[in-house]
């Protein structure tokens, strides 16, 4: 891929490298990814050769150390800092906030690096429940950016509007201290599940519990005999559990006599709609509408990665289905990262080209 040596980036909270990969496709030289999860290191480095993985706890990491480690300069107009902090505390689907409470201020740790380096451009992506009110961590972050002279654009948007084949609502922020900033224009045509997976896209039919030992990782979690019976009764192409909920042996006790609540649980994806948000639990049909549109199984690891727009050649290294699914579900979709990266390059070019 062609990489623009003039524009450089550092990917904070990089995980397995979805955002790094997408920025590289856009032509941006990603110097490093920073994350405190050692298990992501091999996946990141194998797929992003030349971008260094720094296994660091950002709350204890010093900006001067980063400058020394990768040679990044202060006041670099062509430097991009991306800070897509894990922020389950603000998630609209989170039910155990105490476990993630310590992570809610990570965006302010990211702020320390901005204060020190003053990069030309900033990217932030987060869960839709994050608040931009002034008394919130994100609100204080935006206020601080503006006080430093940054032009900030942000909104909660559904990534399906940018051609990502899933309904993935996220808070997205772009900022520049050099010029007015906007968000990329949305697209007219949405991508569907059919555009991404299925036999016609190279995904052979498989059964529950299939283990793919090849790098393609068309691996799928196993199912109990009861769950297979449930899926056989679930209509293809968007069906849900209402067809079997009233059956004594198959109905879920937690939903008996409660109407049609949480109807996505045990549901199938639709072929001709975007997938639901690919979470870290997409391998499990009991955690959302993660059943294949017609096969009696959950979607595979590779299908989840493809709906996240990782290329099929992207190699994931993990100790279990759960660990790899976590890498995939936590990632910024690479295609969305490419759109953001190209938008920044276009914005810079329209305001005098690359900065000296």
290 half-sphere exposure, CB direction, 13 A CA radius:
25
Q: Which two tokens stand for residue 353?
A: 């080209």
SS3 content of the chain, % helix, strand, coil (to 5): 35, 15, 50
Task: Say how far apart CA 156 and CA 168 lie, in whole Å.
Answer: 10
Task: Say how far apart CA 49 and CA 24 lie, in whole Å.
Answer: 10
C-beta neighbour count of 116 within 10 angstroms = 14
Q: Which DSSP string corresponds to 211-236?
A: ---STT--------HHHHHHHHHSPT
Q: Which two tokens stand for residue 179?
A: 């010029």
Q: Give the position of tokens 């990262």.
A: 337
User: Are residues 269 and 293 in contact, defined by beta-carbon separation less than 8 angstroms?
Assistant: yes
Starting from the edge strand earliest in sequence, which strands make up the sheet with 4-12, in order? Answer: 52-55, 28-35, 4-12, 79-83, 121-126, 169-176, 151-158
Residue 317 φ/ψ region, left for φ over 0, alpha for ψ in the -120 to 50 degree band, beta for the rest:
beta
In sequence order, the 6+-apart residues with CB closer than 8 A to the CB of 196 are 165, 275, 303, 306, 307
What residues act catalytically?
87
CA-wise closest residue to 111 among 138, 76, 75, 131: 138
Q: Which two tokens stand for residue 347?
A: 């914005």
Q: First-to-last CA distance in the chain?
A: 24
Instruction: Report which DSSP code applies to 101.
Output: G
Task: Say how far apart CA 28 and CA 22 lie, in whole Å.
Answer: 9
User: Are residues 157 and 170 in contact, defined by beta-carbon separation less than 8 angstroms?
Assistant: yes
Give the SS3 label for residue 42: helix
């Amino acid at each position: 891929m062609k990489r623009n040596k003039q524009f450089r980036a550092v990917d904070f909270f990089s995980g397995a490298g979805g955002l790094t990969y997408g920025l590289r496709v856009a032509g941006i030289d990603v110097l490093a990814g920073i994350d405190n999860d050692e298990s992501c290191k091999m996946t990141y480095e194998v797929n992003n050769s030349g971008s260094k993985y720094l296994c660091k706890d950002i709350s204890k990491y010093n900006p001067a150390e980063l400058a020394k480690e990768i040679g990044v300069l202060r006041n670099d107009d062509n430097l991009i800092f991306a800070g897509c902090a894990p922020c389950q505390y603000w998630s609209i689907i989170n039910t155990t906030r105490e476990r993630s409470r310590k992570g809610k201020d990570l965006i302010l740790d990211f702020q320390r690096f901005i204060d020190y380096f003053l990069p030309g451009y900033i990217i932030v992506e987060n869960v839709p429940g994050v608040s931009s009110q002034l008394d919130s961590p994100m609100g204080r972050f935006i206020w601080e950016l503006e006080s430093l002279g940054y032009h900030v654009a942000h909104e909660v948007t559904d990534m399906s509007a940018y051609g990502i084949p899933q309904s993935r609502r996220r808070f997205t922020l772009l900022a520049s201290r050099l010029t007015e900033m906007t968000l990329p224009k949305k697209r007219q045509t949405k991508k569907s599940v059919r555009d991404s997976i299925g036999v016609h896209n190279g995904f052979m039919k498989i059964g529950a519990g299939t283990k793919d030992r090849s790098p393609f990782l068309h691996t799928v979690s196993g199912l109990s005999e009861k769950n297979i019976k449930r899926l056989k009764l679930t209509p293809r192409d968007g069906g849900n559990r209402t067809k079997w909920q009233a059956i004594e042996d198959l109905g879920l006790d937690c939903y008996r006599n409660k109407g049609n609540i949480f109807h996505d649980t045990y549901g199938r994806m639709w072929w001709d709609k975007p997938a639901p948000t690919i979470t870290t639990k997409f391998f499990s049909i009991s955690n959302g509408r993660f059943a294949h549109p017609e096969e009696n199984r959950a979607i595979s690891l590779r299908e989840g990665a493809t709906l996240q727009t990782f290329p099929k050649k992207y190699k994931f290294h993990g100790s279990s289905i759960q660990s790899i699914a976590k890498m995939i579900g936590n990632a910024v979709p690479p295609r969305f990262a490419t759109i953001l990266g190209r938008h920044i390059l276009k914005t810079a070019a329209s305001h005098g080209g690359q900065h000296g």
